[in-house]
Amino acid sequence: MLHGKKAGRTGYLKEKYRDMIFYILLIAFPVVQFSFFWIGVNFNSILMTFQKIEIDVTAGQYVTRWTLETISNAFQNMFGDPAMLQIMWTSVLSWFLILIIGTPLGLIFSFYIYKEFPLSKAFRVILFLPSILSAIVMATIYNFFVERAIPAAASEWFGIQGVSGLFTNTQTRYGTLIFFNIWVGFGTSVLMYSNGMSTISQEIVDAAHIDGANGLREFWYISLPLVWQTFSTFVIVGVAGIFTNQINLYALYGGSAPLNMQTYGYYLYMRTVAAAGNSAEYPPIAALGFIMTLIAVPLTLLVRRLLEKFGPKED
Amino acid sequence: MKSSGTRSAAPREKFTVFSAILLGLLILYVISLFIPLFWAFVTSFKDQNTDFRINVIGFPKEWIIDNFRTIFMEFSYSVDSVAGTRQVGVGMLYLNSLAYALGCSFCATIVPCITAYLCARFPYKFSKVICMTVIIVMVIPIVGSQPSEVQMARMLGLYDTIWGLWIMKANFLGMYFLVFFGIFKVLPKGYSEAAKVDGAGNFTVLFRIVLPLVRNTFFTVMLINFITFWNDYQTPLIFMPSFPTISMGMWQMASTNIQNFATVPMRMAGAIIMLIPILAIFLAFHKRLLGNLTLGGLKG
């Protein structure tokens, strides 16, 4: 009996040991990968903020020295250079416009799909289409359409001569760019919102109908509060977009977007591409990114807190 | 994880003025979406000199396929390196895209899948640490770490290789970890336990029982990842400049000054060539892509 118990315990320990070996073998790669490409990369990025890298021509290698000059220059650049202040304004404005125009449209489109009104299934597929098509393809088509087809149509169909391309015209180019970003940006959010709405209990909807809530009132008082969690997630994740969203500028303009249309996301990417692997160019970019992260983290947490505090409650 | 299963239960509602306005807006949107795509398609069959110059918005006087033929036969992506300039043809661009998108999408799916399995089925303290890490990383926005990533890739010898990007994309972070974690948490343990009683080891249970059970979700996540990587031109542009993809080719064509390709019909033909594979995938799998996706995750 005692022998049997001992054998059982040994078997149990052997199995636990085998489980542990299996666990370690499979978790090792993801952990090592994470250590290098998240912890290592971000740690190195912080270190670069306090470095200056120069090329030693005689030795033919990079020389790194520690300095506060890089972060200090980045700070002055970000808050003192008129060009960077313009980029800050465009980044915030673009985020705000896409949020206040694109999000309500996405929500009401989702409501239409959720209610299974006519053609809702087709709309669901079509609204998702731009998000799976390549940004570079959509941008190229849109670019030439507004530059060539719209002026030609104005002239041939409406007899209006001298209409310039919407991106060429400095008065219309920013609006055209924001329209493009909203136009191609419904896909995932509409899918998420409509799927979220479809989980709303039918009893709640029926009760609202009995109380006379239909159409807009149902959307406002029932559907919107119940997808608030999904909406909040999009807004919270989107806050970082102020610093990372390129609003498709690289696809439309390559490295030569007009200054008053540039965003932080575009500026950082463009500088990384322009560096072309030259390490000496990296510390100033890392320092700018570091300052932006210092702003983005508390801002994200603040927006999260505000949405939790002032958002509608499900009950 | 949320399910979209209650959708079909919702009965048809009364069509109000609000609904009619929404229908109008949606129709306008669809028209605005299809007109440029249709214009691009029609333009790709025009000749620049004899047709497009005088006929920008009409149908082609003569439908020609020369633009497509020229792109396939003559277009090439210029790769500049220390050794000089090398030209990469369309066939190779497609192959590079396929290698990049297939490899990255597989790695970016299998790693979160297996990590989520380990965390869901082996309740060690370290599993909790992994779950917390995923949540924290999702909430903290990090900006401007790309230069550091390039340095790391160079240091590890992964820079400018396709397989290097496979490794760089093989992380467990992000939404798909939570998707798989949710599935593994509720997956009945009966099959695995029965197999273990029959003498199966952990590897057999994972690869012959568990992974086949989640193959639908796995395939959907991989499909979404594949589309994302196929369309991505910015990551290869920075991390593997010597192995241009078809997206990079399109990006170069959109801004090229080479006379043959710097015309609108030629660029539209390039866009159509780039669109076709993804459109085919979307048409074949749109029910799977649209049906399985929710914010909480994907249903199996």
DSSP E strands in chain A: the ranges are 51-56, 61-66
The confidence band for A2, taking pLDDT boundaries of 50, 70 and 90, is low
CA dihedral A294, A297, A302, A308 (to 10 degrees): 180
**For residue B86, what are the β-bridge partners?**
B79
CB contact under 8 A, A152 and B286: no
- Residues from chain A that touch B124, judged by Cβ atoms under 8 A, are 23
Cβ separation B170–A191 shorter than 8 A: no
- Mean pLDDT of chain A, nearest integer: 89
Give A-chain residues touching B273 at CB under 8 angstroms.
none
Q: Do B10 and A115 touch (CB under 8 A)?
A: yes
Between the alpha carbon of residue B15 and those of residues A167, A172, A221, the distances in Å are 39, 37, 18
Residues of chain B contacting A240 with CB distance shorter than 8 Å = 141, 143
A280 → chain B, closest CA residue: B147
What is the per-residue pLDDT for B109? 97
Please tell me the distance in Å from A235's CA to the nearest CA on chain B. 12
Whole-angstrom distance, CA of residue B103 vs CA of residue B169: 9
pLDDT tens digits for range B124-142: 999 999 999 998 888 788 8
Selected residue of B143, B160, B166, B256 to mutate for chain A interface (largest A Cβ count, 10 A): B143
- Residue B4: predicted pLDDT: 40
The HSE-up count of residue A280 (CA atoms within 13 Å, CB side) is 8
Decide if B12 contacts A112 (C-beta within 8 A). no
What is the mean predicted confidence (pLDDT) over A226-233? 83
Which residue has tokens 């009996």? A1
| Contact across the interface for B118 and A116, Cβ inside 8 Å | no
Judge whether residue A217 has pLDDT over 80.
Answer: yes
Identify which of A27, A41, A108 has the shortest CB distance to residue B118. Answer: A27
Contact between A272 and B141 using a beta-carbon 8 Å cutoff: no
Instruction: Enumerate the residues of chain A whose CB falls inside 8 A of the CB of residue B251.
Output: 136, 251, 254
Q: Write the pLDDT tens digit of every residue in A279-300.
A: 899 999 999 999 999 999 999 8
Q: What is the pLDDT of residue A4?
A: 63
The residues in A 212-271 lying below 8 A from B, measured between CB atoms, are: 214-216, 219, 230, 233, 236-237, 239-240, 243-244, 250-251, 254, 264, 268-269
Burial class for A100, CB neighbours closer than 10 Å (0-12, 13-18, 19+)? exposed
User: In chain B, where do the E strands start and end?
Assistant: 76-81, 84-89
Q: How many residues in chain A?
A: 315
pLDDT value for A144: 95
Looking at residue A5, its pLDDT comes to: 66
Chain B residue closest in CA terms to A266? B144
Contacts of B221 (CB under 8 A, 6+ apart): B109, B113, B176, B179, B180, B298
Positive/negative CA dihedral, B197, B199, B201, B204: negative
Contacts of A285 in chain B (CB under 8 A): 144, 146-147
To the nearest whole Å, the CA of A32 is away from the closest chain B CA by: 10
Number of cross-chain residue pairs from A and B with Cβ atoms under 8 Å apart:
284
**Which residue does chain A place closest to B256, by CA atoms?**
A254
The predicted pLDDT at position B196 comes to: 86
Distance from CA of A192 to the nearest CA of B (A): 5
pLDDT of amino acid A82: 95
pLDDT given at position B34: 94
Q: What is the pLDDT of residue B3?
A: 39
ipTM: 0.86
Asked if A300 and B139 come within 8 Å (Cβ–Cβ), the reply is yes
Token readout for B106 is 């597989």
Which residues of chain B neighbour A26 with C-beta distances below 8 Å?
Answer: 114-115, 118
CB contact under 8 A, A116 and B3: no
- A130 Cβ under 8 Å from any chain B Cβ: yes
Read off the DSSP letter of residue B81.
E
Tokens 């807004």 belong to: A235
Spatial distance between the Cα atoms of B88 and B77, rounded to a whole number of angstroms: 5
Given an 8 Å threshold on Cβ–Cβ distance, is A128 in contact with B152? Answer: no
Q: Are A203 and B6 in contact (CB under 8 A)?
A: no
Report the gap between the CA of B6 and the closest CA in chain A (Å).
6
Q: Measured between beta carbons, which residues in chain B are less than 8 angstroms from residue A266?
A: none
b/e A21-47 (16+ beta carbons within 10 angstroms → b) = ebbeebbeebbebbebbbebbbebbee
Both structure tokens of B182: 């949710």
Q: Chain B within 8 Å of A156 (Cβ-Cβ)?
A: yes
Chain A, residues 24-83, CB within 8 A of chain B, namely: 26-27, 29-30, 33-34, 36-38, 40-42, 44-45, 48
Cβ contact A87:A268 at 8 Å: no
Token pair belonging to A269: 């990417």
Option in B4, B115, B271 nearest A141 (CB) = B271
What structural domains does chain B harbor? 92-242+275-289 (1.10.3720.10)
- Interface with A, mutate which of B106, B275, B295 (most A CBs under 10 A): B295
Residue A147's nearest CA partner among A130, A129, A161, A167 is: A167
- Cα separation, A79 vs A262, in Å, equals 16
Q: What is the pLDDT of residue B295?
A: 44
B-chain residues within 8 Å CB-CB of A231?
A: none
Per-residue pLDDT of chain B (300 residues; tens, 9 = 90+): 343 434 444 555 677 788 899 999 999 999 999 999 999 999 999 998 888 999 999 999 999 999 999 999 999 998 988 778 899 999 999 999 999 999 999 999 999 999 999 999 999 999 999 999 998 888 788 888 899 999 999 999 999 999 999 999 999 998 889 889 988 998 888 888 888 888 889 999 999 999 999 998 899 899 989 999 999 999 999 999 999 999 999 998 887 777 778 899 999 999 999 888 888 988 888 887 776 555 443 333
